[in-house]
Amino acid sequence: QLQLQESGPGLVKPSETLSLTCTVSGRSISSRSFYWGWIRQPPGKGLEWIGSIHYSGKSYYNPSLKSRGTISIDTSKNQFSLKLTSLTAADTAVYYCARDRPPYDHGDPGWLDPWGQGTLVAVSS
Amino acid sequence: EIVLTQSPGTLSLSPGERATLSCRASQSISSNYLAWYQQKPGQAPRLLIYGAFSRATGIPDRFSGSGSGTDFTLTISRLEPEDFAVYYCQQYGSSPRTFGRGTKVEIK
């Protein structure tokens, strides 16, 4: 059964860089059929897609991040990671990782299933 | 980017009743690339519907999706106690992918 688990610091200072890792178990991350994505949800608010990456290295990002985000993939560890720079209080959120399924072969990222349980990151001094 | 507007914001219903949730897009969504998710408090979202009307694996058939273009609907035919939650729509027809702000289905 495919499972995803986020890990990283629960508290980060403003202006610093957040690093999160998603460990995938139950399936190889090197599948050409899927992307792997990050999504966040500020407390009490809705969902925002951050970006997604394919094992080949092809990646997509939400322009709202203004190039502060970078997603990387480590097939040897079956993990993918998110780095988010220049943090502010507005980046406080639960961060989720998820498998990202294109609607057709070689397509762009599509729907997200399954999701990890999420990890809360607070940005505060 | 495509803005998704979900309505109503809150839906108050009793178990056994029918729930109809709307998701309206600011522009037409190509190939009906729309998904629906359910989120319960303290949990991650769960995929219910993709491609506007295809149920995800393990999703009961009381959940159904419909619509095309800019207007989409999630229908829960008979609400079970475990269905009271927040529901989000998400489009993947154009970049960046976007979510609606959610509809909360609460017990009346």
Q: What is the pLDDT of residues A54-73, one digit of tens each?
A: 999 999 999 999 899 999 99
Closest-CA distance of chain B to residue A115, Å? 6
Q: State the pLDDT at residue B37.
A: 98
- Chain B residues near any Cβ of chain A (below 8 Å): 31, 33, 35, 37, 43-47, 50-51, 56, 88, 90, 92, 95-102
Chain A residue numbers with beta carbons less than 8 Å from the beta carbon of B44 are 96, 115-118
- Residue to mutate among B38, B46, B92, with most A CBs inside 10 A, is B92
Contact state of B97 with A64 under an 8 Å Cβ cutoff: no
Is the pLDDT at A107 greater than 90? The verdict is: no
pLDDT mean over B79-92: 98
Q: How far apart are CA A58 and CA A72, in angstroms?
A: 10
Find the closest chain A residue to B99 by CA distance: A47
Contact state of A115 with B45 under an 8 Å Cβ cutoff: yes
Find the closest chain A residue to B93 by CA distance: A110
Q: State the pLDDT at residue B79.
A: 98
Q: How far apart are CA B19 and CA A82, in angstroms?
A: 37
What is chain B written as a DSSP string?
Answer: ---EEEE-SEEEE-TTS-EEEEEEESSPPGGG-EEEEEE-TTS--EEEEETTTEEPTT--TTEEEEEETTEEEEEESS--GGG-SEEEEEE-SSSSPEE---EEEEE-
| Contact (Cβ atoms closer than 8 angstroms) between residue A115 and residue A57 | no
Query: Residue A115 corresponds to which tokens in the numbers above?
Result: 């999701």
> Tokens 């639960």 correspond to what residue?
A94
> Can you say how many angstroms the Cα of residue A125 is from the centroid of all Cα atoms in its chain?
24
Interval A4-39: pLDDT, tens: 999 999 999 999 999 999 999 999 999 889 999 999
Q: How far apart are CA A104 and CA B105, in angstroms?
A: 32
Q: State the pLDDT at residue A6.
A: 98
Q: Is A21 exposed, middle or buried (0-12, 13-18, 19+ CB in 10 A)?
A: middle
- Residue to mutate among B31, B46, B97, with most A CBs inside 10 A, is B97
Of A64, A111, A117, the CB nearest to B92: A111
Is the pLDDT at A106 greater than 90? The verdict is: no
Q: State the pLDDT at residue A20.
A: 98
Interval B17-70: pLDDT, tens: 999 999 999 999 999 999 999 999 999 999 999 999 999 999 999 999 999 999
Count of residues in chain B: 108
Q: Which of A90, A77, A92, A89 is nearest to A36 (CA)?
A: A77
